[in-house]
Structure 1
Amino acid sequence: MSRIDETKDFIPIRIAVLTVSDTRSLDEDRSGQVLVDRLQSAGHRLAERKIIRDERDQIADQLRAWIADPDIDVVISTGGTGLTGRDVTVEAHRDVYEKEIDAFGTVFTMISMEKIGTSAVQSRATAGVAGGTYLFALPGSPGACKDAWDGILSLQLDYRHRPCNFVEIMPRLDEHQRRK
């Protein structure tokens, strides 16, 4: 079963937080702040934080810039994963993915079902990998960010988590590019 192996050292990773919103400022960004507080409390490093409008090209461009940055291991976005016309974060993420982590959305939905019941069906949380960087798109509510961090990311971004975790395979994410 899932556990933390205390015999292993914790490895901090560098995480960028992107809030997708047409209306929020940094002072009003509760969801982004939830992620910042949790990642720092876990011992990870905040690499960068931005707020960007719900524009597919702008979101994809920011993701690409962070993917290209060797000082960023993970990007977590919040907002724009719903069903309305302005919700384009999922599409922007998929524009840059090399591989999608299909089970992320499924596991997130399972966790959400426990909290909000069938309303969980309205989320399109997603995750993928590009250029050796993990990308996670979370809903824009503080509760959803807490659920995703506490139920999935805190464990998968901890090198000590067993039987497996995202951190231990991080050095191999871009191995196909190094063979050329």
Structure 2
Amino acid sequence: MSKIDESKEFIPVRIAVLTVSDTRGIAEDKSGAALVEMIEAAGHVVADRKIVTDDRALIRDMLAAWIADAGVDVVISTGGTGLTGRDVTVEAHRDVYEKEIDAFGTVFTIVSMQKIGTSAVQSRATGGVAGGTYLFALPGSTGACRDAWTEILQYQLDYRHRPCNFVEIMPRLEEHKRRK
């Protein structure tokens, strides 16, 4: 079973938070605020925080900017993962992914099923990697963000987590670019 190896040193990662919403400003952004609070409480650094509207190009451009920014290791977006016509966050994420982390959505669904039952099928949470940066798209509800963080991301973004974690393979995410 997974555990934290206290003999290893914690390595903070730099995480950007993106809220996707047509109606929320920073004052009303409860899910983004919850992510910021959990990221900082875990000892990580909030590298940036933005809000953009439900526009695929705007979301994609923000993700691409953070992927190109050496000061960002991880991007977590909240909102726009549902089934309505304005929900385009997943498509924007997939526009920039080099590799999708298929099991992230599956594990998120399992976690969600324990909390909200079959309503979990309405989420299209996703994860991927691009330019050495991890990207995760979460639903816009504060509860879903808390569940994703406390059940998945807080462990996978902790270098001390065993048997394995995302942080320990960060240096190898772009090793294909070094090969000849």
Band of TM-score, shorter chain: over 0.9
CA distance in 1, matches of 2:175, 2:78: 28
Give me the CA root mean square deviation. Answer: 0.6
Q: Does 1:89 align with 2:81?
A: no
Match of residue 164 from structure 2: 164
Task: Tell me the matched-pair count.
Answer: 180
Cα deviation digits, residues 117-158 of structure 1 (max 9, x gap): 000000000000000000000000000000000000000000
Trace 1:1-180 onto structure 2 (pairs within 5 A). 1-179=1-179
CA distance in 1, matches of 2:75, 2:140: 15
CA distance in 2, matches of 1:20, 1:174: 28
Show structure 1 runs of 4+ deviating over 6 A.
none
CA distance in 2, matches of 1:176, 1:91: 25
| TM-score, scaled to structure 2 | 0.99
CA drift at 1:177: 1.8
Cα deviation digits, residues 63-105 of structure 1 (max 9, x gap): 0000000000000000000000000000000000000000000
CA drift at 1:178: 2.7
Gaps of 5+ in 1: none
CA drift at 1:175: 1.0
| TM-score, scaled to structure 1 | 0.99
CA distance in 2, matches of 1:137, 1:174: 21
Q: Which amino acid aligns with 1:97?
A: Y
CA drift at 1:176: 1.1
Q: Which amino acid aligns with 2:19?
A: T
